[in-house]
Amino acid sequence: MKKEDCFYLGIITKPFGYKGELVCYFDVDDPYYYENLDSVLIDLGKELVPFLIESIRLNNNHAYIVFQDVKADAALTLIKKELYLPLQRLPKLKGNKFYFHEVLGFEVIDSIKGNIGKIEKIMDHPAQPILQILHANGKEILIPIAEDIIINVDRKNKQISLQAPEGLIDLYLE
């Protein structure tokens, strides 16, 4: 499976005990959504390799996992390896919440300016993520993703309606 068809679940951080159990950090909003996993994909450098889970226990964002047919000494080689799952395993979001990958190519409709273009990319900055929109005239428009800006996410018609701060769009189009 290709990495672009998957999402980052977390990382294996350290061993727990001496019987091959590993501590994994799940970098997700709701780790308990993944408490019944039967397998994960582990990035072994060149490819994602599926590993079956024998047992899993959760404590907040930390999962204690024993992988099937992985002995204690072999488990140590998995420390610092990243965990992935197929995109289909993501929980479905409703309302105005969305995954960055799912809105690429969506039309962006501003409440004043109308259709301002398509989402080319989402830049994940530490302060807040930013929609990178390509306008029909070829110019780039950057709009921050914030609850008070996004009005509606229409998955069926592949559109996001928003109300950009006054003058923001004009900065890019003039």
Each residue's pLDDT tens digit in the chain (174 positions)? Answer: 888 889 999 999 999 988 899 999 999 888 999 999 999 999 998 899 999 999 999 999 999 999 999 999 999 999 999 999 999 898 888 888 888 888 999 999 999 999 999 999 999 888 899 999 999 899 999 999 998 999 999 999 999 999 999 999 999 988
Residues ≥6 apart with Cβ < 8 Å to 36: 56
List the domain range (segments joined by +) for residue 85.
3-89
Number of domains in the chain: 2
Specify whether 69 is located in the same domain as 104: no
Residue 59 lies in a domain: yes
Q: Does residue 94 lie within any of the structural domains?
A: no
Q: Are 133 and 81 members of one domain?
A: no
Residue 76 falls within a domain, yes or no?
yes
**Domain end (from 60, 89, 118):** 89
- Whichever domain contains 63, its CATH number is 2.40.30.60
Question: Is there a single domain that holds both residue 104 and residue 149?
Answer: yes
Residue 95 lies in a domain: no
Q: Please check whether residue 132 lies inside any domain of the structure.
A: yes
17 within domain boundaries: yes
Same domain for 24 and 83: yes
* pTM, full prediction: 0.72
114 inside domain: yes
Tell whether 36 is covered by a domain: yes
